[in-house]
Amino acid sequence: MALVSQNSTNSNSSSMSSEIEDKQLEGVQLAGDSLEDMLNHMGDYAPTIPEAVTGYYLNRAGFETADPRLVRVVSLAAQKFISDIANDALQHCRMKGSVQTARRPGKQDKRYTLTMDDLSAALSDHGINVKKPVYFT
């Protein structure tokens, strides 16, 4: 991933100089290409995190851009991050088996509740350690 990224300083891949490099990197998809692609597809959908919100937080960090698609990329990345954590937490939840089922004739909807236990387990896999006090005094 890092190798591919280093070559992406020149985002326009058509201006690659030597053929040798082309042959070497044939199998590898250049980050520049994929990014161009992604940017073009950005207009297809709107991210769940509103643009205004991500823009606000990026401004706080000093990130200012004329291209709104970059903001969408950032919000997409954040979204993916959260979805990954949520999916991991769901896996944990399913494994534990403590599920409240609403019993109906024929249909049974399994309801999953996100608890701190599942979440902290999922987060620890990503390297974030969360410890909440058991009770508040």
Report the interface residues with another protein, using CB under 8 A.
1-2, 4-5, 8-9, 11, 29, 31-32, 34-39, 41, 44-46, 48-50, 52-54, 56-67, 69-70, 73-83, 85-87, 89-90, 93, 111-116, 119, 123, 126-128, 130, 132
Instruction: Return the number of the residue (20 or 111) whose C-beta is nearest another protein.
Output: 111
CA geometry: angle at 132 spanning 127 and 134, to 5°?
A: 145
State the minimum distance, in angstroms, from the CB of residue 24 to another protein. Answer: 19
Instruction: Return the number of the residue (16 or 39) whose C-beta is nearest another protein.
Output: 39
Q: What is the 3-state secondary structure (H, E, C) of 27-94?
A: CCCCHHHHHHHHHHHHHHCCCCCCHHHHHHHHHHHCCCCCCHHHHHHHHHHHHHHHHHHHHHHHHHHH
